[in-house]
Amino acid sequence: HCCIHEQGWNPFYAHLLGHLCSLDKRHQFTLRLCFWDAFKEMPAWTATATGKSKVANVAQLLSHVWATSALSLSLLKPIEIEQMGDGGHLCLKLCFRAVLLQCGEHTLAKLVDKISGADTEMAELRAGLKWFFYKHMKAEKIKERCGFGGGQDLPSGKINKVSTDKKVLLPQRIQSFVGLLNKCAA
């Protein structure tokens, strides 16, 4: 709750939550509930700069808990990704962008491996993620716009300019991530 109300990103909350999740599984469940509540509220947030800042903070927090394996991608299992709306999609764009740029191939493989189950819910989650990546994370969009909207989606300063190396790396990681999702389905 406090994290989203900060004017800028404060990594203290991410490290605190990561530590709490490592201590007790009940903290993981509570954190899942908090993210689900945030996703429900996000459609109203995108109307203002302050709201977009909240979305950015949630995205940073979510990317950290995924990158550190404090939570898995199965967090998105009860959420219909296609129906999330602009706020939820913006959050996932920012979150996956951070995860793909900060994590190595091994970490990405571990993230996808945790949702590789054969049950229907996991298959639906993977299908939703593939839809999201094809619809919202297209590599050609990233090359053209130097990041998501070149910073237009958020108040100024919320998205740093993407370096040339990252402009090349991000499309490669997107293709790799989608490839990992496709392997699960096979």
| 142-179 confidence digits (pLDDT tens) | 434 444 443 444 444 444 444 557 778 889 999 999 99
Chain-centroid distance, C-alpha 175: 16
Quote the CA–CA distance of 40 and 45 in Å, as a whole number. Answer: 10
pLDDT at 107 over 60: yes
Quote the CA–CA distance of 10 and 57 in Å, as a whole number. Answer: 8
Please compute the mean of the pLDDT values over residues 91-104 and round it to a whole number.
Answer: 94
Q: State the pLDDT at residue 135.
A: 92
Q: Mean pLDDT score of the chain, rounded to an integer?
A: 81
Q: State the pLDDT at residue 163.
A: 55
User: How many distinct helices (H) and strands (E) make up the chain?
Assistant: 9, 0
More confident site: 41 or 158: 41
| Cβ–Cβ under 8 Å, residues 139 and 175 | yes
* Range with the poorest average pLDDT among 26-40, 116-130, 132-146, 159-173: 132-146
Quote the CA–CA distance of 85 and 179 in Å, as a whole number. Answer: 25
pLDDT at 97 over 70: yes
Q: What are the helix (H) ranges across the chain?
A: 2-5, 11-23, 25-45, 49-67, 85-102, 105-113, 120-136, 139-145, 164-185
Q: How confident is the model at residue 73 (pLDDT cuts 50, 70, 90)?
A: very high
